[in-house]
Structure 1
Amino acid sequence: MALLAPRSLTAMTLTGIMLLVAACSGSSSVPAPDSVPDLATSVAPQTSDGILRIGLLIPQSGPGAAIGEPLIAIAQAAIDLVNANGGVMGQDVEMIVRDEGADAASALTSIDNFLANDGIDVLIGPFSSPTTLSVLPRLMESNIGTCSPSATAISLASFPDEGLFIRTTPSEGLLTQAMAQLVAQTGINETSIAYPDDSYGRDFVVELRRALLVQGISVTLESAFAPADSDYSSLAEELSAQSKGVITLIGDSESGARFLNSLVMANSTHQIVVNDPLSAADLSTNENLNSSIRRNIIGVAANAFAGAGETSAEHIAFSAAIVDCVNLLTLGSIAAGSDNAIAIMSQVIVTSRGGSGCGDFPTCLALLKAKLNIDYNGSTGQLDLDPNGDPSRASFLTFSFGNNGLSAYKGPLDVMSAP
């Protein structure tokens, strides 16, 4: 989408939005859970009655409510459009809304109510990556097809979901490929990597190494830092002195931002490539703010507003991603001729690639009625799900840091996942 100049970069990125949602990505400031909460077992079995019921698990309380509440109307409008065009299998699609809350325990309570009282077939949500990782076992054992519009954690790509989980926002795995492209665009074929020594950082750096290898970039040095440390000056000076090429920095908006400030203070002469959360870094008090060091920093961030309309009523974070979930699930149900989640999810990935292109429900429905295979591209025109159910291409934002020490939009960066 075209970025509106008056809007701040942080407000446009997943980081800026999900600071309100308590870590959509499961970054090191809010770690992914180490264990899955206890699961209830007295749940009514899923039955097929010819009516597609979609549960919408969305933050209505806690810090995430600020972005969750407006999306209810967006999802309902998408459902209304489906029903205005004949619904699914001749029946109106039903949507039931429950609160994701601020943690996995709250989300699990809502999921148990979805299953025991509402008889949902598929679910849109959760929003938070840590919550998604916690509740997916519950959803999988109940054979509930799930589409998250915002969970980005790398670890979700390897979750054993048996084909029942997809997401419509690009994952951090795709973000690593965007970072590798930025490194390659410097013309330098060597990089050092600094990353937080936690589950988030270790998962991220594994994918980043692969992405850099595809770009022909050699990793010459790696430096893991403890997120709880308050002073990174010595480590930053050592990294700057020993690095031979680009410095690639992975971090969250807290410890990562401190490390970035330390690199700038260390008078690093290297070009520095940073990830999404560092768009929230504040360099305004750094003594080297007005030097070439600051101008050597470039970052890449996912766009939470990709595909959203430009009016105030339409310009809502994740609005396109949530509409994509509605359309993929309903089109999958129509293609399968069933409201059974296993049948639906077997068609969802198929409908997102390889057929006749379409970007909205009515157009796609007309193609299905004409017995044609469809390629649902969504409002961004870029949605393609890979065999794992993750978007395989996206348009990211690149950013630099301005004279005020805050991140500023630089330009778009289109990325397609490596084979």
Structure 2
Amino acid sequence: MSVFTRGTASRSRMRSVIGGLAIAGVSALVLAGCSGGGTGTTDPSESASAPAAEDLTLKVGTVLPQTGSLAFLGPPEEAGVQLAVNEVNEAAAGITVDVTFGDSGDADNKAFETTVPMLQSEGVSAMIGAASSGVTKLFLDSNVSEGIITFSPANTSPDFTTWDDNGLYWRTAPSDLLQGEVLGNLIAEDGHKNIAILYQNDAYGTGLYGVVKEVFEASGGTVVAEASYNDGDASFDAQVATISASNPDAIVLITFDQFATIAPLLVNAGQTAENFYLVDGNLKQWGADVAVSLEGAKGTTPGPVLADDFQQRLNDAWTAEGNTDLEDFSYAAESYDAVVLLALAALAAGSTEPADMAEFLQEVSGGSGDGETCESFADCAEIINGGGVADYDGYSGGVAFDENGDPTEATIGVFQFGADNMHTRIN
């Protein structure tokens, strides 16, 4: 199978498979860990004396879902990467990004088993992905062994905070310690007392399930039933029977695309969809793809409200490659910021060697507490090239990496479905 490497939007795009409750919509999270993740604080004086990069070429690859149970996240994530590559290259600030787009698939179809070795052989400095925490876990150690940065825009498993990664794992998505807290509190504040939780048995599902359960029970509620399934399962009758028998007043569904099969089964078993609570793995614009009404159902997903002009730029970058309009923007900002932060780290280091870049990722994100705030690659690059320290505040938020490579500033949005099975942000 083939891949396509692009540095600018002018090259033609061909799709291929290679492989709190939120307070005013904003929550801040400071995550702490004892080991793993990113690097420690870099001495600002070292940054100021670092040589300005000239004619650097940064090779990155994506391991994002073109296929599999999270394929709906692929377009916005790849659009974010493409737009950032375009804008970094248009800035002509001493660095060019070449990107190769590849498929992560999921833990069932394992497209990443083709993608990751191919990108490693191409000599990329960083891989952007995967979206699924479970998939990233299956190749992260290989990348660490190869000395390659893995930078996910969507991994939320708390496990990565303490992963033994030699400072080579980073993410712009917050840990599920935050999303789980927001969702658990949302359900309680909506007045529910007895809930059931159906979750996917992987790093993502078990992690989020654990936090939601803990937070909801701490609020005085009771989890009356819980059931799990494995990625790749096609039948969910047993899980639905377990959930329905408990007579819950709300159901939390921590799934991927399996939701399209599970939701009608639950409704046919007498459950009310308006009492469903979804998460980022299944919070998509379902429309006619779900055979029952989801009106009233709610869900959460990380990410701030995106400015209209940013959404338009994302869509323009995406459609310029021969694609249809974006229907969803989940994790687009996080993907965009991943590319910008990698490019800024390379510029600050004067190098595209992964270890060198990793030494500056916390600094350029503002995580070191030093630097001049800037909101675009061009402005940040000007600061770096002038001998200063840049603190990039992006479209996904302030980011501000801690020593584990986790963002310490994040937003969780609350969404609700209408009669057309399309959701809108309500907080």
- TM band (smaller chain): 0.5 to 0.7
Q: State the number of aligned residues.
A: 345
Aligned-pair CA distance for 1:164: 0.8
Aligned-pair CA distance for 1:168: 2.4
Aligned: 1:321 with 2:334:
yes
In the TM superposition, 1:20-419 aligns within 5 A as 52-58=56-62, 63=67, 73-82=82-91, 84-85=92-93, 87=94, 92-93=95-96, 95=98, 97=100, 99-100=102-103, 102=105, 103-115=111-123, 120=124, 122-129=125-132, 130-153=134-157, 155-186=159-190, 190-196=193-199, 198-199=201-202, 200-212=204-216, 216=219, 218-226=221-229, 228-230=235-237, 234-240=241-247, 243=248, 247-254=251-258, 258=262, 261-262=265-266, 265-266=269-270, 271-280=275-284, 286=292, 297-302=297-302, 306=306, 308-310=310-312, 312-314=315-317, 317=329, 319-353=332-366, 354-355=369-370, 356-368=372-384, 373-404=389-420, 406-412=421-427
Aligned-pair CA distance for 1:140: 0.8
Q: Find the aligned partners of 2:208 and 2:418 in 1 and give their Cα distance.
A: 27
Q: Which consecutive unaligned segments of at least 5 residues does structure 2 have?
A: 1-15, 19-52, 106-110, 319-325
Distance 1:81 1:170, change over 3 A: farther
Q: Which consecutive unaligned segments of at least 5 residues does structure 1 have?
A: 1-19, 23-48, 413-419
Q: Is the 8 A contact 1:275 1:299 kept in 2?
A: yes
**Sequence identity percentage:** 18
Q: Secondary structure of the equivalent of 1:160?
A: coil
Aligned-pair CA distance for 1:182: 1.5
Distance 1:230 1:238, change over 3 A: closer
More divergent stretch after superposition (201-210 vs 256-265): 256-265
Q: Find the aligned partners of 1:365 and 1:217 in 2 and give their Cα distance.
A: 50
Aligned-pair CA distance for 1:360: 1.0
Q: Which amino acid aligns with 2:338?
A: C
Q: Find the aligned partners of 1:327 and 1:368 in 2 and give their Cα distance.
A: 13
Q: Is the 8 A contact 1:76 1:95 kept in 2?
A: yes
Q: Which amino acid aligns with 2:301?
A: A
- TM-score with structure 1 setting the length: 0.66
- TM-score with structure 2 setting the length: 0.65
Aligned-pair CA distance for 1:106: 1.3
Q: Secondary structure of the equivalent of 2:183?
A: helix
Distance 1:300 1:113, change over 3 A: same
Q: Secondary structure of the equivalent of 2:113?
A: helix
Distance 1:327 1:187, change over 3 A: same
Aligned-pair CA distance for 1:348: 0.9
Which structure carries more relative contact order (alpha carbon 8 Å, separation 6+)?
Answer: 2
Q: Is the 8 A contact 1:62 1:101 kept in 2?
A: yes
Could you give the per-residue CA deviations for residues 303-340 of structure 1, whole angstroms, max 9, x where no partner exists? 69946332541576555334322321232234445444
Q: Find the aligned partners of 1:327 and 1:239 in 2 and give their Cα distance.
A: 48
Could you give the per-residue CA deviations for residues 101-131 of structure 1, whole angstroms, max 9, x where no partner exists? 651221133123223xxxx4x2142344354
